[in-house]
Amino acid sequence: MKFASFSVALAVLPFLSASPTYPKSGHHAERNKYPGLDVLAKRAGLLYFGTAIDNVVLNNTAYVTIAHNRSEFGQVTPSNGLKWMYTEPSRNVFNYTMANEIIKPAIKAHQIRRCHTFVWHNQLPDWLTSKNYTKPELIGILENHIKHEARAYYDKCYAWDVVNEAFNDDGTLRDDLWLQTIGPEYIELAFRFARKYTSPWTRLYYNDYGIERVNNKSLALQKVVKDFVKRGVPIDGVGLQAHFTVGRAPSYNDTRSALNLFTKLGLETALTELDVRVDLPDTAAKQKTQADVYAASVKACVDEESCVGVTVWDFWDPVSWVPSTFPGYGNACLWDDALKRKPAYYAISDMLRDE
């Protein structure tokens, strides 16, 4: 339990006013035991339990109702709408249609927003990848992009993933457009631009996968972040994506130790894209292991002082990015095809209730 008095006070207020004095029926008992992931996460001291939402599924009312149910999800991330190819499809022409389809209802539902992402090597527009720019030109393009997006969402994002996936697994920097044209300082520049144009209270994150253990990648990142902190480069947090696989997932201790690399530097941390894919066909045994992995991962965040929240990378199996990206794998989410909650949902809830 952390942030104890504040979060307990917040959590207890609505609970007191709804306190039942009558015998619990089955329905009420279920509601009291499983009031929603965000409700339980806040009681356990987290700031939020959140989900990514994609635009392709917004015509499904049953899905949308859960996605914007604040008891389940106190935080929302657009899975795609804030990426470069959608927000600046032509040079200096900005478009926020896709992002706003998710951000606006989230604001209405009082769900905080994590915004994703300013700088990445993927999902870039053709105009950016098909031409060779000079270093000063590309730095200008980078600043202009961050400036427009940051101003458009000035007070609408709790956090921004400023740079996404800049490292290789061996700890070297990814050989992408940014490194090739600007050099390693593109990371620092992106954070400086982000600080210049976002609101002062927006948390600026570095976000990556494969850093949920102490390994070459997480240690290399820690070194860069340590240097940033020392030199006053404005970084507030590190996001561990946490895309896991049943049978190969980091343990509770692995994830805690990885989070601690950044706690030690005084930074905020979060699990930003949690999902746990299964080698298909699925079985009850695999669902049980999946449930254990989900619960252990969330618990690592709850127990690590710097970790503010957990975001799942969508909550519904049919719209997960997993089957198309990892052929043969699937069922990575908390709700099944029939939009029913899976064992992992209950395992997370039970763990949070016991914290």
Residues at the site binding ligand XIL, with contacts judged by CB under 6 A: 54, 79-80, 164, 241, 273, 321
C-alpha 74/C-alpha 230 separation (Å) is 33
Q: Are 268 and 237 in contact (CB under 8 A)?
A: yes
- If one counts every other C-beta atom within 10 angstroms of the C-beta of residue 310, the result is 31
The phi, psi pair for 310, rounded to 5°, reads -125, 130
- Could you tell me if 312 and 333 are in contact, meaning their C-beta atoms sit under 8 angstroms apart? yes
Q: How far is the CB of 278 from ligand XIL (least distance, A)?
A: 17
| Between 43 and 83, CB nearer to ligand XIL | 83
165 catalytic, yes or no? yes
| Minimum CB distance to ligand XIL smaller for 38 or for 273 | 273
Of 149, 212, 273, 304, the catalytic one is 273
Nearer to ligand XIL among residue 52 and residue 235 (C-beta): 52
Nearer to ligand XIL, 164 or 349 (CB): 164
Residue 273 CB, nearest distance to ligand XIL (Å)?
6
Instruction: Report in angstroms how near the CB of residue 197 gets to ligand XIL at its nearest.
Output: 21
In terms of Cα–Cα distance, which of 286, 295, 337 is closest to 37? 295
d(CA 319, CA 310): 19
* Burial of 264 from C-beta contacts in 10 A (0-12 / 13-18 / 19+): exposed
Work out how close the CB of 79 gets to ligand XIL at its nearest, in angstroms, rounded to a whole number: 4
Q: Please tell me whether residue 245 adopts helix, strand or coil conformation.
A: strand
Minimum CB distance to ligand XIL, residue 80 (Å): 5
Alpha helices in 153-266 (DSSP H): 177-181, 185-197, 216-231, 252-263
Angstrom distance (rounded) from CA 344 to CA 352: 12
Closest-CB residue for ligand XIL? 321
Look up residue 265 and give its DSSP letter. Answer: T
Residue 211: CB minimum distance to ligand XIL, A: 12
Nearer of residues 11 and 240 to ligand XIL, judged by Cβ? 240
Annotated catalytic residue: which of 72, 88, 149, 165? Answer: 165
Cis peptide before 200 (omega within 30 of 0): no
Place of tokens 């939402």: 53
Closer residue to ligand XIL, CB minimum distance, 86 or 262? 86
Tokens (6 digits) for 222: 């820690």
Q: Which residues are known catalytic residues?
A: 165, 273
